[in-house]
Structure 1
C-alpha cells in the first residue's frame, strides 16, 4: 500500500493507520542457522566426552549434584570454555544463541541402571554404580516370590461368617461379577446376600423355599448372571431370576416309560446340575433315573438332548455328578459304579472318553471340575479320594490323594484362579474335631496349606477368580467368606466397612418430667408410671383395647339379635322355660286369684253377676267318703 493510498484511507476513515506492520521472517536463513547450531553443539559434546574419559573415573553421589538446571548450566559453561580456541572466529551472536538455546533435560531411561561410567546415558543427576530404587526392588521380589510360591496368593487373612440357618449349607452360588451370593441348605431355604447392600450385621435380603420340602443340592448363576439354576431333591429343576421369581420349571417325565429317552423330562430325584459356560440359555442336569439331560430356558416342553451312562455290562447306571468342559464341547458325568464318562455335546450315542474304575464301585462321585486350561479334570470321589486326570491320556489318573473323609454327596473340589492349586474340604463327625479346607499343588499333589474352618464338616467350597475370595459352606449352617484386603477385590470388603444400622424405635411422645423434691403436696406432680403398668391399665379399658361387646340379654335392640333369637316362638319358649309356677293342681291355681276376682271383678265375675251372684265351687270330698264303685272315668286325675 503506497503513501497516497494510506493518506486517502486516513482522510476517509478518520485515523492515520492500522497499527504496527507485521514482521517478516526469512525461513531459509532460520533453517540454515538451526542446522549450523546443531552441528556445532554435537561437535562440542563429543569433545567434552573425550575430555571426560581422560579424567579418573569417580562415582558422583546424588548429594554432590544440585538440581537439573545447575547441572545443565555448568555443562554449558564448560563446553563453551573448552571450545574457545577453536571457535575464536565465531561471532558474539552465535555464543549468545548457544547459551540461550538450552533444551530441558530428558528423563532417565527406564529398565537400565544409570551410572557415571556411561556419559552418553548420563541424563539428569548421575547415580552411583549399581544404584536401584528400594521400593521397586521390594515389589519385584514380592512378585517373584508369589510366582514361585502359590501359597502366598491364598486370601485367608480375614473372614466373615454368614448365618444361613441351623442345618447343612449344601449349595453355594456366586454371580460372575461377584456382587451377589446365594446359599441353599437342608432346611429347604434359599437365601440371597448382596455384598454391596449389606452392612456389618451381615443379613440376607431375601429368603424363600423354591422347591417346597426338598433339600437344595445345587445353586449356580448363569454365565451372564441374570438367572439362577436351582437343583433340589425333586425331579424338576427350576430357574429363578436375580430376585427369586420363577422363570422356568422343567417338565416331569412319564415314570411308566421303560426307555428314558422317550420321556420329556426326569422321572426321579435330581443329583446335580450346571450351566453351559458359553451358551447362556442351556443347562445340564443328572438324575436318579439314569440319564443326563440338557435343557433350554426358552423351551419348557422338554429336554434338548439326553445322555444315558452305561455300565461295563451295558446296564443302566446312575450319574451323581455332571459338568461341562471349559469350552462347552464336552459333557462329563461321574456314576455310581465308579466310572467317569464323557460325551461330545452333539453326539449322545457313544462316549468320547471313559474310565471304568476311576473310583470305588458303589460310591457316589460328588464333584467333577475342569481346570482353567481345560486339559486337567479333578474328581472328588465318595471313596474319600481326590484325583486328577489328563484329558489327553484318560486311562489312569495323574495324581491321587486318599484319606479325605466325605460324608456328603455334594462335597466340592475346585481349582485356584492361577491353576496351580486344587482346593477341597473334609468332613468330621460331631464333636470329633474341625472340618478343614485343604490346598494341594496341582503338579505334585503335595498338601501345601490348610485352613481350619469350624467344628463341622466342610461341604462346599468356591474360589471366585474375579474377587479372589473363597466361599465355604459348612455342616452347621454357616457360610464363610475368606478374603485378603490387598489381594482381594470388592465382595466381602464392601460390607465389613459399613456400620450396623440402628434399630428403629417406636416413636412415643413423652412429657418432660421435672423432679421437685421440696415442692408442696398440692404442687407435686404424680409419680411417672412404668410403660408396662400403663399397658396393663389400657388393656382393661374397653375403648382403648377394643374389647368386643357382650351378647345382648333378652330381646334384641339396636339392630342386634337377642340371646334366644328375635322370633315370637323363641320368646314364648324362653318364657315357658323360665315360668316357675306349678300347674299340677289347676283348682289351686285358679283359687289363688279368687280374692282378687272378688274384690275387683273384671273378666268372668261381671258376666255372672245377675244370673249367679254367688259363686259356687265344687266341693272336694275326702277319700273316706268317696264310694269305691265309682267308675274310672269319674275319678279325678291328679
Structure 2
C-alpha cells in the first residue's frame, strides 16, 4: 500500500482560496541594534565633550577648526546611515573612504553644523551663563578651601540639664537622641523629634545611684547605651533607660588584676568598639583597661595593664579605640600615652613616655577619621597632635588651654581639617570657650564663647553637622546652622510650646437679678472673706463631722461603746472607777466570800488536800532574810 503524500500549506491555501495562515512574525537582530546604539552614544558624548572644550575657541580658529573636522564628518555620516538603517556593518567600513569628488569646504562645514539632533535648550543656556557658573564655582571652591566657614555656629539652643557640671554627652548614630550625664548623678534623655520649644527632657534617671556620671556613649547600632560612673561597675542601658547588663566587680584582695573578673576601683572612662556592636572597653583606678562583651557579664574579655618605665602600675585616665577598632589607646596619670594591638594585650605597640607632664591627668584621646593622627588633651593645659607612624614627638602642640576637669574633650571636625576642644575657667572669672585649631598648621582659627563657666564636653556629629557642648554650670548647648546642618535641633525649634492643662475649678457665679421677686432674689456678696465665714458656720457647706452617738444608737449608727464584748469589757471593767490604790485590801475583800462559798479553786483540792498545808518559816529563812541583796543566792 503506497503512502499518501501530505499536502503542503501552499496547496491547501490554493484550494481554499487564501494565500496563507497569517502574517509571518518579524525577526530582529538584537546584537546589531545594541551595537548601533552603543556607537551612536559614544559619538554623541564625544561630540558634546569637544563642543564644551572648544566652545570659546571656535570663533577664534574660524575656518581652520572647520577643516579639522573633515574626517569626523565621515564618521558622522556613517552614523547617520546606520541610524536610518540604509547601510549594514559592512557598508560602514566602505563609507570611511571618499567616493567621487571631495565636498566643498563651506558645504562640509555647513553640513557639519546640522548633523545630529539639535542640542537641548538648557545646554545653550548653560553656555550662555557660563561666566555666572564659573563665579559660583569659584565661591564654592573658596568655601571648600576655608574650613572655618563650615562651622555651624549661627544658631544655638540651650538644654537645662541641672545646676552641676555636665560631665558626659552622647548622641546616637542617627542623631535623633541626645543623652547628658552630670555630677548630680542624673542621666537625661532628649529627643529632638519629640521636643518643642520648651526643650524638656523626656526621661530622667539615676542608673548608678549616688555616683557621678563620667561617660556615656551609644553603640554603633544605637540600641544600647554605655554608662560609666564613679563606682567600679559599668552599666549598659537600652534606648529607654532600662538595665541590660551590669559588669561584675572584681576581688579587691587579689594583687594581680589580671586574675580578677572585673574592676576593683573607680572607673574613669569607657567607649564602644567601632565595628563590633557587642564589645566595649573601660579603664579604672585599679590600673587596668578591660574589654567586655554585652552577652557575658560575669567576666571581662581581655585585660591591658599600663606600666611605667620602671614596670610599676599606672592609672589610666582615658581610653579609646582607633577608627578601625584594631588599636586600643590609653592616656595615663604619669603623662604617657600607651597603644596596644587589640589582640596582643601584653606589650604595647606604640608608647610615648613623656607625652604630657607627669602627674597630670590626660583627659581625652581621639583618633582622626583617617586613622593616622591622634589628638590628646592633657591636664597640663595643652592640646597635642600625634602621628602614630612617628610616635616619639608630637606633630603640633597648643598651650595655655586651661583644663580643670579630668574629662575635658577634644574631637575632629567631620572633614578632618579642624581640631576642637574646650577651655576651663574659675567661677566668675571669665567665659569658657570652644576653640578650633587648623589641623595642618595648628593655628587657632576660630573660637566661640559658650558661657560663664567651663566647657567640659564637646561633640561634633558628622551626620547632623551640629556641635554639642556640656558646661560646668549644668547646661548642654547645641550649635547649628539652618543651611549647613540637618535635622537635630532644627526639628524642635520650629514647634510651639504645648499649652499647659490647668485644673478645672468649679466656682459658683453670682447672678445679679435686680427686678426679681424678693423670694427669688439672692443676697449680694459683700466680700469673699465674710462669705467664707458664713459658709464655715453652715454645717452643710462646711461639711462638719457628725458628733458621736450617745445611747443605744439611731439612724443605722452604732453607739459610742457598740455592742461587742470588747466594748462591754472596756465599759464595765477597764473603766471601773473603784480605788485600787491598796491592792492587798482589794484582794482580801473577796476572802470571806471565797471561804464561805468556794467555787474556783477549793473544790479541786477537796479530796486530795482537804486541809491546806503551808510552809513554816525556819531560822535559816530568817537569817537569809537578814542578808543583803547582793549576797543572796540567785535561784
Aligned to 1:483: 480
Q: 1:271 aligns with which of 268, 277, 291?
A: 268
Cα distance in 2 for partners of 1:269, 1:357 equals 25
Segments of structure 1 that go 5 or more residues without pairing to the other structure are 8-20, 28-48, 55-97, 111-123, 580-638
Change (3 A) 1:558 1:453: same
Change (3 A) 1:102 1:359: closer
Q: 1:107 aligns with which of 101, 109, 120?
A: 120
Q: CA deviation at 1:154?
A: 0.2
Aligned to 2:457: 460
Cα distance in 1 for partners of 2:295, 2:406 equals 30
Worse overlay, 176-185 or 400-409: 400-409
Cα distance in 2 for partners of 1:249, 1:266 equals 12
User: Does residue 1:558 correspond to 2:571, yes or no?
Assistant: no
- Preserved CA contact (<8 Å) 2:384 2:398: yes
- Preserved CA contact (<8 Å) 2:549 2:558: no
User: Does residue 1:377 correspond to 2:379, yes or no?
Assistant: no
Q: CA deviation at 1:139?
A: 3.8
**How many residue pairs align between the two structures?**
488
- Preserved CA contact (<8 Å) 2:549 2:559: no
Change (3 A) 1:103 1:239: same
SS class of match (2:139): helix
Change (3 A) 1:103 1:337: closer
Cα distance in 2 for partners of 1:255, 1:549 equals 67
Cα distance in 2 for partners of 1:331, 1:517 equals 89
Q: 1:409 aligns with which of 401, 406, 409?
A: 406
User: Does residue 1:241 correspond to 2:242, yes or no?
Assistant: no
Task: State the TM-score, normalizing by the size of structure 1.
Answer: 0.68
Cα distance in 2 for partners of 1:478, 1:312 equals 41
* CA-to-aligned-CA distance 1:189-224 (integer Å, 9 cap, x gap): 101000001111111100000000000010100000
- Preserved CA contact (<8 Å) 1:276 1:283: yes
Q: CA deviation at 1:571?
A: 2.5
User: Does residue 1:285 correspond to 2:285, yes or no?
Assistant: no
Q: CA deviation at 1:148?
A: 1.2
Q: 2:466 aligns with which of 446, 469, 473?
A: 469
Greater C-alpha Rg: 1
* CA-to-aligned-CA distance 1:229-264 (integer Å, 9 cap, x gap): 000001000000000000000000000111111110
The aligned runs of 1:312-351 (5 Å cut-off) are: 312-351=309-348
Aligned to 2:130: 132
The aligned runs of 1:215-234 (5 Å cut-off) are: 215-234=212-231
Change (3 A) 1:575 1:405: same
Cα distance in 1 for partners of 2:536, 2:177 equals 47
Task: State the TM-score, normalizing by the size of structure 2.
Answer: 0.69
Q: CA deviation at 1:105?
A: 2.8
Q: CA deviation at 1:400?
A: 1.0
- Preserved CA contact (<8 Å) 1:552 1:561: no
Q: Which runs of 4+ in 1 moved over 4 A?
A: 1-7, 101-104, 124-128, 508-557, 559-565
Aligned to 1:114: none
Change (3 A) 1:313 1:468: same
* CA-to-aligned-CA distance 1:431-469 (integer Å, 9 cap, x gap): 111111110111111111011111111110000000000
Cα distance in 2 for partners of 1:537, 1:292 equals 76
Aligned to 1:189: 186
Q: 2:163 aligns with which of 150, 162, 166?
A: 166
Worse overlay, 511-520 or 459-468: 511-520
Change (3 A) 1:393 1:166: same
SS class of match (2:458): strand
* CA-to-aligned-CA distance 1:377-407 (integer Å, 9 cap, x gap): 0111111111111010000011111111111
Change (3 A) 1:271 1:574: same
Cα distance in 1 for partners of 2:579, 2:399 equals 91
Aligned to 1:73: none
* CA-to-aligned-CA distance 1:26-71 (integer Å, 9 cap, x gap): x9xxxxxxxxxxxxxxxxxxxxx99x968xxxxxxxxxxxxxxxxx
User: Does residue 1:307 correspond to 2:304, yes or no?
Assistant: yes
Change (3 A) 1:570 1:281: same
- Preserved CA contact (<8 Å) 2:550 2:559: no
Aligned to 1:498: 495
Aligned to 1:157: 154
Aligned to 1:178: 175
* CA-to-aligned-CA distance 1:557-602 (integer Å, 9 cap, x gap): 73876799614365344241699xxxxxxxxxxxxxxxxxxxxxxx
Segments of structure 2 that go 5 or more residues without pairing to the other structure are 1-11, 29-57, 64-110, 581-635
SS class of match (1:314): coil
Change (3 A) 1:220 1:551: farther
Worse overlay, 528-537 or 476-485: 528-537
* CA-to-aligned-CA distance 1:133-169 (integer Å, 9 cap, x gap): 63x3454233212221100000000000001111111
- Preserved CA contact (<8 Å) 2:293 2:301: yes
Q: 2:247 aligns with which of 250, 262, 265?
A: 250
- Preserved CA contact (<8 Å) 1:221 1:229: yes
Cα distance in 2 for partners of 1:317, 1:422 equals 28
Cα distance in 1 for partners of 2:480, 2:321 equals 28
Change (3 A) 1:233 1:353: same
Cα distance in 1 for partners of 2:209, 2:189 equals 17
Aligned to 2:140: 143
SS class of match (2:130): coil
- Preserved CA contact (<8 Å) 2:420 2:436: yes
